[in-house]
Structure 1
Amino acid sequence: MKRFILPFLLLSLCWACKKNNLTETPPPNPEPPVQIPAQQGMITTDKNFYTSSDAITITYNPAKGNAALNGFTGDVYVHWGVITNASAGAADWKYVKSNSFTTPDAASKMTRNANGTYSITITPQSFFGVPSGEQIRKIAMVFRNADGSIVGRNYDGSDIYLPVYSNGVNVRFIRPELHPTYTLTPVQQTYAIGQQIEVTGIASTSANLRLTLNDKEFATANSSTIITGKATITDIGTQTIKLIANGTVQESFSFTANGTVVTESLPAGAKPNGVTFINNGTSAIFALYAPQKNYVYVLGDFNNWTATASGYMKRTPDGNTWWIQIDGLNPNVEYAYQYWVDGAIRIADPYTEKVLDPEHDPYIPAANYPNPGIYPIGKTTGIVSTIKAQQEKHSWSYPSITKPSKNNLVIYELLLRDFLGANNYQTLRDTLNYLSNLGVNAIELLPINEFEGNSSWGYNPSFYFAPDKYYGSKKSLQAFIDACHEKGIAVILDIVLNHAEGQSPMVQLYWDATNNRPAFNNPWFNPTAPHSALSFGYDFNHESSTTRAFVKDVLKFWLDEYKVDGFRFDFTKGFTQKPSNSIDAMSAYDASRIIILKEYNNFIKSIDPNAYVILEHLCADEEEKELAAEGMMLWNNLNYVFNEASMGWLSNSNFSRADYRTHGFTQPDGLITYMESHDEERMMFKNITYGNASENYNIKHLETALKRQELCAAFLFAIPGPKMIWQFGELGYDISINENGRTGEKPILWQYNTQPARVALKNAFTLFINLKKKNSIFSTTDFTHNLAGAIKFIKLRNGNNTVVVVGNFDVVPQVASIDMGSSGTWYDVARNNQALTILDGTYSATLAPGEYHIFSNFILNP
């Protein structure tokens, strides 16, 4: 019986307690559920984990990231697509909702919230129309206003990539705040040695969680959905924190830890910019001019594109230049590299001689550049620079030539892209006989240094020391120049130093993302061009000593490394800081601009006293006169008046401005006159489209139009001074400049050389060029002319020798009456030196439309 007493008593006590409203002591309360911190950052979602079939609400905070839409109150749209298992790479967007970035997708319009954020709810699989068998891995997006002129991105300008989870265990970070991009990066990218970073991670289901810093564990939480820990930073360079669940599932992010910047002068012999090889090419000293920056790493193939202590750059005592020596290089290996500045941007070296461009290099014809280099895919983004200590060098046979005198200069302006089907330097080299037979003694190449894209005129430059690979290698360019020199042909490089484009690392290095322009502290560029009436790209400030030093480095490099014979400076009218809001004001006399151009001219002449310095200036005569007096040559655009004469419309056909004296110049060699350049509508196109006519004489007819070009050319080359031809002008190229867009590719029509009427024009050009080069009278300063009206003439005198060129530019016969200066026998070189006797010193004749003669009182050397 005793053994039953205790249970009975316990039951009785329990019943009594309830009867008297008494309670027994309760067991301890279970632990409250762990509170998972709320998401924070530019992008948040209403669920921590979601699959492609879940409805999710995405919220965008425009005050974060690049903050481009911060304060914007209009409609905000998402421009987006997805990265799937079928994507070719991390940036291969699929199922993009709108094919036009300037036209919004109505289904992608966001709702503005009371706190200024914007939200939208979607179910990814159905919203993007992704087939059920295809797995969405990330949602790729940017935010924009209706026309796409304002775009919200990550703080560094990159696109936004939001992960999409699969079923099972998933993990993600809640702290620190991260950017949703390819590789997660915290908002605070850089930390200091000894600093702690607080980390919180969560899991979709209970799991054994670990946090590691550089694979060293610093926190654990078993059977939990949340883990928190603090990591102490002990190393310089890239640090990686991982969140691991059950030993296999993981997420990671990276950041940089910096030590104290070492202040130290550049080693003796090291170049202040670019790369200097030492120790037989096994070591390289990298130098970057970047004042006002906090830290710089050099990243490259030599350190697996990772920020390391050995790549943490030193700073010179003046605070302007960053440098570091990298050892252990193979002199025979080409290394790609970039500079990582302040954890914000990665740029190629502004002084690199070769770049790798992942977007455009794959489209370079193999015949032009067989092996352009291997881009470090997956290790970095953007354009990278390259170095190689032991490069195959061209052995110069003709590093210099006796340059043609400026008075006798006949320049052939050439865009390699539109000149040859195989548009590379080797093929151009094989074509030199054509140009030499034509008689030209200088080739002016449109810009060939690295420009944006592959197909371009070249006036959108990005790198100034690197030839664009689209046309060939460094060695093939040098071999072409050497071959030109062998034939006595000078090579003039068209160079664009008024502006650069957005790919330029110097533009990117100091950038105002808010206003989408160069920052005010950019050492080279104006935030906006002071000459607002006419500007291109991002405007160089030539009153900056930093800009002038850079320009001189560029000029010296091409003179020394490529043996070019001179430069044609594009748009030197823009080398001014003088505010102007009209073309006339911009073209007015500017003493500061003159000083700048004289400085560049003197620098070039200090390297090569005979180098050509040609300016596309087109400013006031007073200014151009002063520049010409310093030995520079000025472009003289007479396209309009020559074309009016060629078309037979005579009221505006006075080309007396081809005479250097009308500009106030003292010598003819300072004025380069041309009928066509790359910038003007082609004369033959206007002839056959708008040419005048009378009865049976019609300039729109091809053969007549070609003869009108011959008439104009006879006068062009007879007027003393250097001359220029635009490519195929000698064959009457008649495709409009606007064909396929102004700067678009044009048909290459070498078959013109099989058409007798066009060959006749080319032969006439050859005659006129040789007359100019071989007979000093065409360089005389003793000449008179009447270059207005229907009957035009020019009379040149050199001692007792006289040459008279006369022509009828009307579409009806006209009477010519020209004082020849003397009687006797005259020879018409345009008609195989047919003799003409003049008895009273006056040439009188009725000239048919388009008829011309080149008379001389002596036998000219053709």
Structure 2
Amino acid sequence: MKLKSIFILFFLISGSLLSGQVTTEPALPVVSREVKILYDATQGTAGLKDYTGDVYAHTGVITDQSTSGSDWKYAPDWGDNSAKYKMTRIEDNLYELMISPDILGYYGVAEGEKVIKMAFVFRSGAYKPGTTQYLEGKATGGTDIFVDVYEADLAVGITYPSDNAVIPKNTQVSLSAASTVSSQLSIFLEGSLLKQAEGTVISVDYTFSEGGMYSMVAVAESEGKTATDTVLFMVKDDVIVETKPATYRKGINYLSETSAALVLWAPHKEFVFVLGDFNDWKVSNEFQMKKDGDYFWLEIDGLTPGQPYVFQYYIDSKIYLADPYAEQTSDPLDIWIPTSSYPELIPYPEGKARGIASVLETGQTPYAWEVEDFTPPPVDQLVIYEVLVRDFTVSRTYRAVTEKLDYLKELNVNVIELMPVNEFEGNESWGYNPSFYFAPDKYYGPRNDLKKLIDEAHKRGMAVVIDMVLNHSMGQSSLARMYLDESTWSPSSENPWYNTTHNFQNSQAQWGYDFNHESPHTRALVDSINSFWMNEYKVDGFRFDFTKGFSNTPYGSSDPWGSAYDAARIANLKRMADEVWKRNEDAIVIFEHLSDNTEEKELAEYGILLWGKMSDEFGEAAKGNTADLRRTLHTSRNWNVPHLVGYMESHDEERMVYKILQSGGSDGAYNTRQLPVALDR
């Protein structure tokens, strides 16, 4: 696709298309007047559809004092069941809320502050059974609901279609607009007058026979004053069916210094547009992806080498999605990443992207590895140091960890285990809430800083393994969001990668959305992730988190942590390990498994290293108490191979020195509760 320069004149006043989810009376709410909010619970995420309990509006406003389009002002605490927020049920699934005496008074807006939008999330008055979460009604895609607010002067807003809407060909639609005061209203399409009427509302039925970009203008005239509103929308051409080149892989494919191909695997989806910096985030038939079976693909050229572009997929006019295979994301929370950690980070396109987006960049300079090939230490000689980049240094960056490598070398560490470094939800986290598997988390710095850290570790003879969380991912993952049952906020039955429900009855063993490790699509994804990190970042292996979850076997109250021998789980884990070793026969494979010994013994003797929790025993010994440390030896567990990773501390069992200082023993002048002694021990 050849990029074109698009010169578009548009007005900032625009109506909000909510697909009937929220309507108002009057159609254009005026800041100084009363307004009725009507909420259809069957629309949007439909999280409150057929709910029979009390429903409340969590509502606030976006003002000229908001720092962003999502910075609510004058909102109550979440869960406030005050009478002013209670919705009145008009009929099944239809509710109303009076904003009275006017918008300013209802919200308590400060004098002189300008209201731009009202913001809503509708919720149940009580928690969902067995949880501390409410049922929620949001806009399609799980976003907040916004309603434009107008001043008392003459204003006009187009109520259908919305800006950047996608309309099918050969289907009758009603083009409509409304004004704040009675006036002469006109609707123009591509400069031609379609209809004029007197009053506060106007509509005209129209059928589009040709695809393309259209401009609609609404004009209101009253007492010598004129107001206008303009939207640009797309009438969708038929999807082009064309075989994608065999060399194109899922995700971003760089073709040249100025071109790239995007490939999205999306079964059950009908059409996909690409929106981004390269087309001013406008829906265009030129950027509608071609279809090849379950694949959608598009070639883009005219790109500037070395310039990052933020983009999203827009799927079936419902979902805005980052590429799940992207190596860099753009997130609204990026604003909180210090420039000292990540210089020249491309800004998030506020007001254009919806949710997390992805980044592509042609003409990147490849990292120059100083150590091309590295062989990790033998598995029976590993001294492993677990590192949380966020807390290991004050700077909280990959660069800062690199500067401390000599310190770790002095401790005789020969393996650095990085707690999860792929993108996780939020900026500050342990990282066991993953969202994107191919993108290093930006809070720690640029991706080449991570490569430098690994390269420098290899120069010192230290291997690097990374924590990889493949039991589950969180809701921001594009893999989850692409097929989400928004009425239950769980994966739909069409999702190729996830189970619709957790196989653990124990709620403490349920995190995020549960991967279906029996699915061939999940297995292919897992192998792609592991292969990517070994090839692109030269990691020497993985510590896989909660591997007891790599099964669909139901676990009830009799085995709440799934510790019993599970042949299906063993087969899944051996298969994954084989694929890792197929790519690097020396790769270190560690499981946080903690199952019954029969299963651990089988996995250990297959070549896998198993975490062995010994924190309590080592803690007692450090305090000066008697402790049995024999289970640190593999022979104590009847294993025939030294594949036990006995650990004194981990992210779950930490703060040993603190415990010594609190309750350590003493013998005369020798007191373990003194800091130098505790550190020495």
> TM-score with structure 2 length normalisation?
0.89
Question: Where does structure 2 lack aligned partners over 5 or more consecutive residues?
Answer: 1-17, 127-132
Quote the residue 1:73 is aligned against. 52
Alignment map for 1:362-441 (pairs within 5 Å): 362-441=335-414
The offset of 1:285, in angstroms, is: 1.1
Query: Which residue of 132, 156, 161 maps to 2:146?
Result: 161
Q: Which amino acid aligns with 1:59?
A: L
The offset of 1:386, in angstroms, is: 0.8
- Give the 3 Å change call, closer, same or farther, for CA 269–167 of structure 1 in structure 2: same
Contact 2:69–2:350 at 8 Å: present in 1 too? no
- Give the 3 Å change call, closer, same or farther, for CA 240–156 of structure 1 in structure 2: farther
Query: Which residue of 627, 630, 646 maps to 2:606?
Result: 630
- Give the 3 Å change call, closer, same or farther, for CA 566–111 of structure 1 in structure 2: same
The offset of 1:55, in angstroms, is: 2.8
Q: Confirm whether residue 516 of structure 1 aligns to residue 516 of structure 2.
A: no
- Give the 3 Å change call, closer, same or farther, for CA 390–200 of structure 1 in structure 2: closer
Deviations 1:418-475 (CA, angstroms, capped at 9, x unpaired):
1111222222222111111111111111111111111111111111111111111111
Deviations 1:239-275 (CA, angstroms, capped at 9, x unpaired):
553322249523355655333222222213212x011
Q: Confirm whether residue 245 of structure 1 aligns to residue 213 of structure 2.
A: no
Instruction: Provide the rounded CA distance (Å) in 2 between the counterparts of 1:77 and 1:269.
Output: 52
* Larger-gyration structure (1/2): 1
Residue aligned with 1:88, SS: coil
Quote the residue 1:259 is aligned against. 237
Query: Which residue of 335, 341, 359 maps to 2:315?
Result: 341
Contact 1:256–1:343 at 8 Å: present in 2 too? no
Contact 2:188–2:195 at 8 Å: present in 1 too? no
Contact 1:570–1:615 at 8 Å: present in 2 too? yes
Q: Confirm whether residue 105 of structure 1 aligns to residue 90 of structure 2.
A: no
Q: Confirm whether residue 193 of structure 1 aligns to residue 155 of structure 2.
A: no
- Give the 3 Å change call, closer, same or farther, for CA 308–604 of structure 1 in structure 2: same
Contact 1:218–1:230 at 8 Å: present in 2 too? no
Query: Which residue of 345, 351, 358 maps to 2:325?
Result: 351
Instruction: Provide the rounded CA distance (Å) in 2 between the counterparts of 1:63 and 1:222.
Output: 32
- Give the 3 Å change call, closer, same or farther, for CA 202–352 of structure 1 in structure 2: closer
Q: Which amino acid aligns with 2:324?
A: P
Residue aligned with 1:330, SS: coil
Residue aligned with 2:530, SS: helix
Contact 2:593–2:611 at 8 Å: present in 1 too? yes
Instruction: Provide the rounded CA distance (Å) in 1 between the counterparts of 2:393 and 2:37.
Output: 53
Quote the residue 1:578 is aligned against. 553
The offset of 1:224, in angstroms, is: 5.7
- Give the 3 Å change call, closer, same or farther, for CA 156–350 of structure 1 in structure 2: closer
- Give the 3 Å change call, closer, same or farther, for CA 605–40 of structure 1 in structure 2: closer
Deviations 1:356-375 (CA, angstroms, capped at 9, x unpaired):
112x2122122221111132
Instruction: Provide the rounded CA distance (Å) in 2 between the counterparts of 1:190 and 1:41.
Output: 16
Work out the percentage of aligned pairs sharing the same amino acid: 40
Q: Which amino acid aligns with 2:80?
A: T
Q: Confirm whether residue 269 of structure 1 aligns to residue 242 of structure 2.
A: no
Q: Confirm whether residue 326 of structure 1 aligns to residue 311 of structure 2.
A: no
Quote the residue 2:585 is aligned against. 609
Contact 1:236–1:308 at 8 Å: present in 2 too? no
Contact 2:185–2:219 at 8 Å: present in 1 too? yes
- Give the 3 Å change call, closer, same or farther, for CA 193–218 of structure 1 in structure 2: farther
Contact 2:28–2:148 at 8 Å: present in 1 too? no
- Give the 3 Å change call, closer, same or farther, for CA 378–675 of structure 1 in structure 2: same
Residue aligned with 1:594, SS: helix
- Give the 3 Å change call, closer, same or farther, for CA 438–201 of structure 1 in structure 2: closer
The offset of 1:489, in angstroms, is: 0.7
Quote the residue 1:853 is aligned against. none
Instruction: Provide the rounded CA distance (Å) in 2 between the counterparts of 1:328 and 1:568.
Output: 42
Q: Which amino acid aligns with 1:415?
A: L
Residue aligned with 1:113, SS: strand
Contact 2:272–2:314 at 8 Å: present in 1 too? yes
Alignment map for 1:535-554 (pairs within 5 Å): 535-554=510-529
Instruction: Provide the rounded CA distance (Å) in 2 between the counterparts of 1:483 and 1:471.
Output: 17
Deviations 1:361-409 (CA, angstroms, capped at 9, x unpaired):
1221222211111322222221111111211222111122232111111
Residue aligned with 2:286, SS: helix
Query: Which residue of 137, 140, 150 maps to 2:116?
Result: 137
Deviations 1:701-722 (CA, angstroms, capped at 9, x unpaired):
5455x2xxxxxxxxxxxxxxxx
Instruction: Provide the rounded CA distance (Å) in 2 between the counterparts of 1:442 and 1:250.
Output: 65
- Give the 3 Å change call, closer, same or farther, for CA 312–238 of structure 1 in structure 2: same
Instruction: Provide the rounded CA distance (Å) in 1 between the counterparts of 2:246 and 2:350.
Output: 36
Q: Which amino acid aligns with 2:73?
A: K
Instruction: Provide the rounded CA distance (Å) in 2 between the counterparts of 1:535 and 1:290.
Output: 26
Query: Which residue of 439, 463, 483 maps to 1:490?
Result: 463
Query: Which residue of 194, 208, 212 maps to 1:219?
Result: 194
The offset of 1:351, in angstroms, is: 0.7
Instruction: Provide the rounded CA distance (Å) in 2 between the counterparts of 1:518 and 1:87.
Output: 34
Q: Which amino acid aligns with 1:408?
A: Q
Q: Confirm whether residue 58 of structure 1 aligns to residue 37 of structure 2.
A: yes
Q: Confirm whether residue 666 of structure 1 aligns to residue 643 of structure 2.
A: no
Q: Which amino acid aligns with 1:495?
A: M
Residue aligned with 1:532, SS: coil
Instruction: Provide the rounded CA distance (Å) in 1 between the counterparts of 2:446 and 2:176.
Output: 52
Instruction: Provide the rounded CA distance (Å) in 1 between the counterparts of 2:450 and 2:28.
Output: 56
Contact 1:201–1:243 at 8 Å: present in 2 too? yes
Q: Per chain length, whose mean CA-contact separation is higher, i.e. which structure has more relative contact order (CA < 8 Å, sep 6+)?
A: 2
Query: Which residue of 475, 484, 503 maps to 2:448?
Result: 475
Contact 1:238–1:306 at 8 Å: present in 2 too? no
Q: Which amino acid aligns with 1:268?
A: A
Q: Which amino acid aligns with 1:578?
A: T
The offset of 1:158, in angstroms, is: 2.4
The offset of 1:620, in angstroms, is: 1.9
- Larger mean CA deviation between 382-391 and 45-54 belongs to 45-54
Instruction: Provide the rounded CA distance (Å) in 1 between the counterparts of 2:583 and 2:54.
Output: 59
Q: Which amino acid aligns with 1:660?
A: H
Residue aligned with 2:439, SS: coil
Residue aligned with 1:587, SS: coil
Q: Which amino acid aligns with 2:188?
A: T
Quote the residue 1:86 is aligned against. 65
The offset of 1:109, in angstroms, is: 2.3
Q: Which amino acid aligns with 2:145?
A: I
- Greater helix fraction, Structure 1 or Structure 2: 1
Q: Which amino acid aligns with 1:137?
A: I
- Give the 3 Å change call, closer, same or farther, for CA 458–156 of structure 1 in structure 2: closer
Quote the residue 2:544 is aligned against. 569
Q: Which amino acid aligns with 1:622?
A: T
The offset of 1:595, in angstroms, is: 1.4
Quote the residue 2:134 is aligned against. 149
Instruction: Provide the rounded CA distance (Å) in 2 between the counterparts of 1:130 and 1:197.
Output: 38
Deviations 1:144-174 (CA, angstroms, capped at 9, x unpaired):
2235612222233222222333233333456
Q: Which amino acid aligns with 1:476?
A: D
Instruction: Provide the rounded CA distance (Å) in 2 between the counterparts of 1:664 and 1:240.
Output: 75
Instruction: Provide the rounded CA distance (Å) in 1 between the counterparts of 2:209 and 2:416.
Output: 60
Q: Which amino acid aligns with 2:484?
A: W
The offset of 1:330, in angstroms, is: 2.0
Residue aligned with 1:146, SS: strand
